[in-house]
Chain A
Amino acid sequence: MADDKNPFPGENNTGHVWDDNIRELNNPIPRWWMIGFWASIIWWVAYGLLYPMIPLANDWTKGMLGWTMTGEYQEAVEEITAVRAQFEDQISALSAKEILADEGLTSYTIASARVLFGDNCAACHGSAGQGNPGFPVLADDDWLYGGSIEAIEQTLINGRRGMMIAHGKMLSDQEISTLANFVVGWSQGQEDPAGAQLYKDKGCFGCHGQDGKGLQMLGSANLTDAIWRFNEADKVAGAAYTIRHGVNDPSDPQTREAVMPAFKDRLSENDIKKLAVYVYSLGGGQ
C-alpha cells in the first residue's frame, strides 16, 4: 500500500502504489474536458439569466427574455390562426353554396369542420353522420326539411322541431293497425286500397301529401321511401307507435321526441357555414 518513499519519483503520481508498480497518477484533466466543463457552467448561468429557472416560495425567477410556456403556446396558436386566416376570410365572404363550388376550399372546410361536428353533432347523429336510434342519419339522401345546402344551413341556425299529433284518441286500434300496415307497404311498393282510403279519410294527406312524399316545409316524413325517421326492427309496430303517440305532442307523455336545437347562439356564422358544408358532403346533399 501507500508508502512514504515514492518508488516512481518525478512521475506526478499520488504516491499510492500497489503491487509494486500499479500507481495512481495525478495527471491534469484533459483540456477539452475542462473547456466543456466551464462551457456547461457558463451555459447554466446564461440559461438562468435568460429563462425561468429557480422556483421561489410563491414565485419563480422570470428570466430576462420573458419566455413562458403558455406564451409559446399562444404564439403557436397565433401562427396557425394566421395560416388559417386566408381560408377563414374566404369562408366568411362566401355563402355555403359558393364554398361547395370551390374544391380546395371545400376540402379545407371539411377538414376543419370535422372537429366541430365531433363536438356539436356527433353525440346525436353519430361520429360520421350515421345516425343513432331516434336520431336521423345525415349520410343518406332523405331530408325532412330539405337537403339543399341552404336548407341544411337553416336547420343548423334555427333548429327544427318535429310535429305530429298523437292519434291514439282519434283512431281505433284497428284503424291505426291498418294505417301502419298501409304506410309500411307503401314504402315497399305494395298497394292497399283500404289503407289508401283510410289515409285519405283521416286527413293524413294534409301533412304527408296526396302522394305520401311529405312536405319539407312542415318537415313531414316521406312515407313512400325506404327510410324511416323512427327506424325500428318491426317497422309496422314503429309506425303504429308514431301514429298513436305522435311526435312532440305535449298532450301525450309517450310521444316521440324529435328536436334539433338551434345553433345560431352557440356557434359563429362561419362555423355554421362550415358545418353545413360538412353535413352536405356526408353523402346525401342535394
Chain B
Amino acid sequence: MQLMIKERVLNASEKQIPTTTVDDLYAEAGHWHVNTGEEKIHAKRMGGRWRTLKWWSNAFWLVFFLGPYLRWDDRQAVLFDIPNRQFHIFGATVLPQDFWMLSLLLLFFAILLAVATAVAGRVWCGFFCFQTVWTDVYTWIEDKLEGAPQKRRKLDEAPMDARKLRIKVTKHALWLVIAFFTGISFVAWFNDAYQLWADLFAFEIGTVALVFMLMFIAGTYVLAGFMREQACFWLCPYARIQGVMIDRTTVLPTYDFQRGEPRGRVKKGQSEEDRTTGDCIDCNQCVAVCPTGVDIRNGQQEGCITCALCIDACDAVMEKVGRPKGLIRYESLDVLEGGVSTPMLKRPRVWIYAAILTAALSGIIYGLSSLDAIDLKVIHARQPLFVQQSDGSIQNKYTLKVLNKMSADADVDITVSGPQGLVLVGADEPISARHGQVSSRTVFVRVPPEQLVSESTPLSFSVTTVYKGERFTSQRDSVFIGPKP
C-alpha cells in the first residue's frame, strides 16, 4: 500500500520522466530522501487536539515512575523479585511454577499491538512508545531552552560562548536528571523502592541494580537525546513489522491527495474560485512538525509513527487560509481512493484478534484466581521401586515437595489415602514449609501384601495447612508399587 501511494504521487508529478536508461533510474533515486541522521531533525512544536492527546498519553508513563512507591500489606505493591524468584502483584504472588501465565501475557500484548495497529495504525509508536514519549519530553526541554527550530539550528552552528555553554549545560543536565529517574524507576520495580533510595544515598547499592541503573541512564540519554527518530528508523523492529499489520481499511493519519494535489502556493490577489491548484498550499508545515522528519504527503511510509502531529499543523494552516480542515486526517486508503469504508466489525482480523485477546485474558484471569496457597508434588522413588519389610509388608518411598506460596511460613500436615492397612511412616511431624520456597520430606508407605491385587495401586497424598483461620489443601495422586502378585 505504501508503494502504491508513492507511485501515485510520483506519477502525478514526474510522469514525464522517461526511465529508459540506468542513469535515469539513478537520477530518480536521488528524489528519494532516506533519513539516516546526517541532518538533525528539529521539529516545530505547536498546539492542537492531537498535541493535547499526546500529553495525556505521555502521562501514562507516570505509572512507571510512581508505581514502585505503592505499598501493599508490608511490602511493595508490584515487585518483580528476581533473586527470590517471585513476582508480587498486589495481593498475588507469582512463582516460577505459575509462569505459563507469562506466555499468555506476552501473547495478549502482542495481539493488542496487532489489533491496535490494524484498526488505527501505529498507535503504540505514535502515542505510547517510550522512545516517542522520552524523545518528546527531551525535545520539549530543548524547545523551552533553545527556542524554535531555526534558533536551535543557529545555536548548533554558533561558536561556543558563555550563553551557548549555559544553555547546553542546562539542557544536558535536565536530560540526565530525567535519565537518572528513568534508571532508578526501572530498577525500583525489581528492588524495594524505598530501600533502593536508602542504599543509593549510603553508596551501598548492589552491583546488578547499579549496572542496570547506569544502563538505563545511558540508554535514555543516548536514545532520547541523540538517536531520536533514528531509533525508529534503524533500530526498532516494530517500525517494519507494523507495516504488514496495516491494510487498506486501517485508518491512519493520511494526506488526502485527491483534494490536495496538485499542490500550489497561495497567490496574492487570486480568488479561491480561480484557483487551479489543490487545497495543499505547499507550506511544508506538516514536514516541519514531524518528529521523524518525513513528508506525510508521500503517503504512508516506514518513518511515519502515526503521531498525528501533522494533522494539527495542517488544520491550523487550513483554518488560516479558509479552506476546510482535514486535508491531513485519520482516514483509510479505501475511503481516499473509492469512498467506501469497511465497518470495523466486518473485518475478520478484528474478530480473530479479539478472540485471541479474550482467550489470553481469560487464561490469565483464571491463572491469577486459581493460584493455590500450597502446592504438592509427589516423586515416587524409582530405585528400588519397593522394599519388603521384615513383617512381610511392602514399603514404597516418596519424596513430597511442598511449595508454599503464602507470605508466611506454615506447618503442613501430610495424609495419604490408598489401599487398606496402609501405614504412613515419617509424617508424624508436619513439614515446616518456608514461604515462597519448596520444602521437601521423604516419607514411606507400607502396605500388607495381601492388600495388593496388582503391581500398581493408586494412592493419593494430600497436604493441609491452616493460615489465618483458612484451610488450604493440595492433593496429588501417585502410585504404590508392589511385587507381581
Contacts and interface: CB of A to CB of B under 8 A. Distances in A.
A130 B391 contact: no
A134 interface: no
Interface in B225-265: none
A107 B434 CA distance: 15
**Chain A interface mostly helix, strand, loop or mixed?**
loop
A215 interface: no
Contacts of B209: none
A48 interface: no
A283 B390 contact: no
Nearest to B392: A226
B390 A222 contact: yes
A141 B388 CA distance: 9
B440 to A, nearest CB: 7
Contacts of B22: 21
Contacts of A225: 390-392
A254 interface: no
A199 to B, nearest CB: 20
Contacts of B395: 139-140, 283
B462 to A, nearest CB: 21
Contacts of B390: 140-142, 222, 225-227
Given A127-B383, A128-B381, A128-B383, A140 B389 contact: yes
A222 B395 CA distance: 19
Interface string A128-143: 1010000001011110
Contacts of A162: none
Contacts of B389: 140-142, 226-227, 284
Interface in A114-132: 126-128, 130
Contacts of A178: none
Contacts of A103: 432
B23 interface: yes
A226 B444 CA distance: 19
B401 to A, nearest CB: 12
Contacts of A226: 388-392
Interface string B376-400: 0000010110011111100101000
B442 interface: yes
Contacts of B381: 128
Given A107-B440, A142-B390, A226-B390, A283 B383 contact: no
A107 B388 CA distance: 25
Contacts of A140: 387-390, 395
Interface in A46-69: none
Interface string B345-388: 00000000000000000000000000000000000010110011
B387 A283 contact: yes
A149 to B, nearest CB: 15
A126 B381 CA distance: 14
Interface residues of B, number: 17
A281 interface: yes
Contacts of B442: 281
B404 to A, nearest CB: 15
Contacts of A130: 383-384, 387
A225 B392 CA distance: 7
A281 B426 CA distance: 10
Nearest to B395: A283
Contacts of B397: 139, 283
Interface in B64-118: none
A165 to B, nearest CB: 25
A254 B179 CA distance: 86
B279 to A, nearest CB: 42
Interface in B4-26: 22-23
A259 B94 CA distance: 54
Contacts of A141: 389-390
B485 to A, nearest CB: 15
A126 B384 contact: yes
A127 B395 CA distance: 17
A263 B390 CA distance: 27
A228 B395 CA distance: 16
A139 B440 contact: no
Interface string B111-131: 000000000000000000000
B26 to A, nearest CB: 9
B384 A139 contact: yes
A81 to B, nearest CB: 24
Interface pairs A-B: 7 shortest CB-CB:
A130-B384, A225-B390, A226-B392, A142-B390, A128-B383, A139-B387, A140-B387
13 contacts: A21-B22, A103-B432, A126-B383, A127-B383, A139-B387, A142-B390, A222-B390, A225-B392, A226-B388, A226-B392, A283-B395, A283-B397, A284-B387
Interface of A: 21, 103, 107, 126-128, 130, 137, 139-142, 222, 225-227, 281, 283-284
Given A128-B384, A227-B389, 5 more contacts: A128-B381, A130-B383, A222-B390, A227-B388, A283-B395
